Homo-oligomer: A and B are copies of this chain.
Amino acid sequence: MNSVLVVDDDPHIVRALAITLKGQGYTVTTAMDGESALHAAAQRPVNVVILDLGLPDIDGTTVITRLREWSAVPILVLSARHGSGDKVEALDAGADDYITKPFGLDELLARLRAILRRSTESSDETTTIETSSFTVDLAKRQITKSGQDVRMTPTEWNILDILVRNPDKLITQQQLLTEVWGPAYAKEANYLRVYMAQLRRKLEVEPGTPRHFITEPGMGYRFVP
């Protein structure tokens, strides 16, 4: 199920979009201004953001820029302005598409499908990752270790999810912290140490000498199947 964050200061538009999108099977969260939009995006990751440029608090382009500092989520911009300058500015700031009001709902939905199609095809569809000591089913959110199911807390799962989706790749501490706790926690490396210890205790055969969750001192962590 795809999740959408709708950002607009006009309650009517928000409501209309939310109803339409839910009717299409999307999960919808909403925000009325830039600050709460950024907060919402950090709080719960979404598959796509629909963003109105004319927000009461922050300039729309600034919202895009600040979102792009830590997230690669696709952004579809709505705007009442037809000027090409605004379009260029928003697109170059990191937006993926731009529709001018008034727009047709069917066009919006089609562009949404186009964006989501591309963003989901690039992410791997392999849902199960196996190692010598445990198995992770990303779709079912299920972990098995020597026949036994292993329970994970939400935070534990978030970390595991990121690491396992990027096998052999070094994930920096900043990446993990911003993706799991939000950009404000980018320096709280303590949290990582605590939770990496938890993950190892639950998944590694020998938590003291980890074989799958490798620490790269000073840099971050790496998952090796």
Contacts and interface: CB of A to CB of B under 8 A. Distances in A.
Contacts of A142: 168-170
A113 interface: yes
16 contacts: A72-B121, A84-B107, A85-B106, A91-B114, A92-B114, A95-B114, A96-B114, A97-B97, A118-B118, A118-B119, A122-B122, A140-B170, A141-B170, A151-B216, A154-B218, A154-B219
Contacts of A208: none
Contacts of A151: 216
Contacts of A219: 141, 154, 157
A216 B142 CA distance: 10
A153 interface: yes
B140 A168 contact: yes
A217 B153 contact: yes
Contacts of A74: 118
A106 B88 contact: yes
Contact of A110 (B92, B110, B170): B92
Given A72-B121, A74-B118, 20 more contacts: A84-B106, A87-B104, A87-B110, A88-B106, A88-B110, A92-B113, A95-B114, A96-B114, A97-B97, A98-B111, A118-B118, A122-B123, A140-B170, A141-B170, A142-B168, A142-B169, A153-B217, A153-B218, A154-B218, A157-B219
Given A154-B218, A219-B157, A91 B110 contact: yes
